[in-house]
Structure 1
């Protein structure tokens, strides 16, 4: 230490500043990098274990539901004590076959065992030929229990490796035990159902009873790497977990524990005992927690190397800058020359952690699914609101129209009455049609002409409607009742208040994949303040004289909801000159 101190005393200020700045920055960066790596590792580890715990809890719920289903079948069989009577053997076998066909995915073999030792099964032929030596033991065990008994795993001649559920059946009169109903479950199928959630290259599971017997069965159809994590005794077939390992996992406490497996260190997540009296244990390879961190380590190594180079250069330059006042003019010029030839340093650091484990990805997918779902619900809400407005026909509109028809009838203008009624019926049919929200521009214009005819009857020769549409635009798709609210707005607010006859001109054409519709009127127009408030009218109650509750803001929202934010309305207006509305839509045919 004294030698280092003595060496520093003889160095210049620039070297001392450089060394202290470089060493301090390097230590700080190293501590931050190490802390971030540890946090990332712990976060990933915690997330994987949390997801494993969630899967275990759901698996236990599934097993509890499995037990409830078995209980229901046994209770159903207990109500059929008549099947245990002498001479009812064929009926009993037929009833068991019926139950087994309905619940074939859950159970392997079902039995009814009488007090005299006679056994009936859904596979009676195989039982008569092969037999089942375990039935007598199961019968004795069931007699000592009042409820449903669950056996330890054993090898059945008919069901393979299985677990039996048994329930004594008592006579309704006297309460004497007439027999026992026994169900042997298909452990291979049960294991396969659970393996879909838990078995991967890096994790597996096991189910153990309170007496340290393994419940899950070996299935040769699964890839061998599913069984590589745990120590199996391969000298027998099917392979079995080694006895000392079974003892170790049986003694594990509930929760998270580290232990050694066939491939080294691993983490065990043990659940509490479920209704079946079983413990579900998930095993996760310890290296799985680090394999996705390797890329992060590599990124930090690369970033650290680049950072050291940058730190060296920056510290050197800062040291030179600090010692600038004591430099001579020649040294200063040399430094300027060096700076001119010094190549520029460009550093692009890749500090992204990247993807985490599959379980973490799944959690994220869910959350998505939730956000997307929320967005869709909001979209449907907006659609329902617009459909409600579309279906609201103002009563004053109908009243005024019917009053006009009555007036025409009194004047014996039969043709005018006929045309007005035809226009009203057509307009109402067009509005109430719920088969589709989209129509062609030609159909929309036809509905608009009927509406304009009714308003002409009502207001007289107050305005004129001029429509000029390019032929290729007639078959383009448009939202129903898009033009009517805009023309209605022009009549009520632009033309009706003025004394002179007004003109509403509608032009439509296609250009560069867009359908352009221009509505122009020579009415009163709007000031800049009125124009700014047009798109806030959705917050106001609609006029009772309108045909529907749809306003300009609703039209704008419907277009953007269905076609996107790049489409919609643009409005220009001058007081005492008129208003121009331009509608931009995609030029798509309705039946493409």
Structure 2
């Protein structure tokens, strides 16, 4: 059992992996597009062709059935007309005075009731009357050649006819089946059908299958007594002429059956022996119907309609394959149409898919070259669609990447130069510290406290500026550095310079980039306080806004012009480019640009320096950086790049 379970799991895993290859996401774009176009274009055409083929088959089949029913109705009308004529003849015969006299005559010689023989003519019915009756009946056969013979029988069994006679004169005709059927119908027109085993024949010796017999009982209109029966034999060729001229397809034909399905007329054909037996078991009492049956390995369709007058069923018989010959022609054209549509669809799908996928493949190859380091790759095309837009965006991206790489190399070069200058500035720093301590000790020994304080401030300034080579210090150390610098400058400018430092205690421990405030304060002194008349005030303030640390350096000096402010703001947008174009030596706005560049390199362009004019004169410089309560192992700029 474990082996069986393992095999099943292995098979299911293989099946999932095998089918996963054919998932649309794993197929080439060219294959996906062709498949999509085929589903959108060719599949509806195939479905339409199938629907057209199915609909045309149903329409043609219905039209064939309707046309067959119309032909059958016309044949039925013809047959009904013949039967109506026969019924009219029975009425004409019943109204004839000679026939009435014959019906009312009481012949003395009952044993020989054949009035066709003049020797046995009744005295009550002269030979002249018999001759006249024969001539009267002969007139009907002359006018209606479809009549094979007419026989009149009274209730005593005596008969008279122009063509028919009894085979056995001793056997009374009143015992015949057709006679009893006519009497049972009480004066209604009765269609007997093919005669079978009757005691009546004709001088022409028609076979029973060559005639159709009809009969009607004659009644006395005054007394209501039955007088006798009129029998008329109708030639079958009349029915044959009405039906044989109708052709259903190549081999189809019409046949006529009675109400029970027994054949009245059936032409000779390939299914002559099988059809009547099948019809006898399949015909129903419905007025009309259509059904299909298999005979001798072929599908035959039967369509029949029942005559309201005779009760006969006229049946159309034809091969089902012949009825759908036209539908096969339509199917052929539908197949040709589908072939053309499929061929055109495949060609169009392949061309359209190629026109879309090939530029994308070419663009993908260019991206792989760019990924390998080839920044000279360019997409060359005049397309105006989405693929062309994507190619032009790729070109702009490559140009931007090249610019960024060039900028990065320049930044790395500037960083190395700055590191070199920093290393040069750190040469023997302890010698400088010891020298300043010696000067401070000598000044105190001489009683020059002001010189001692000045040297102490200068020593702190250098010590914090060097800070062991670290670029990150606490805000408290930055405050000591700027305070020492201001004390030195206040010694120089005396009462012309006043300052205020507003650094909250809870921000003393946050980490900042060193030497950010000193260049700003220096600019405030040299370009603001020194240029004005009278004393000036410099305010340095630090505050927290959400997760940002904000410095503000404000002075009430001479201020800055609009033109100079616009120029500085433009330079501050791209500090590295401006520094690179001006060289490494400080001049003019180098301090502001240096601070802006250091902040951008450390924290990104989201932070930095902004410059504006004060409302009462002077200038306001604002610096923003992230709030760092722990010493950062790496710069924020590097972390942002990694996240991106």
Q: Give the TM-score normalised by structure 2.
A: 0.44
Higher-RCO chain (CA-CA 8 Å, sequence separation at least 6): 1
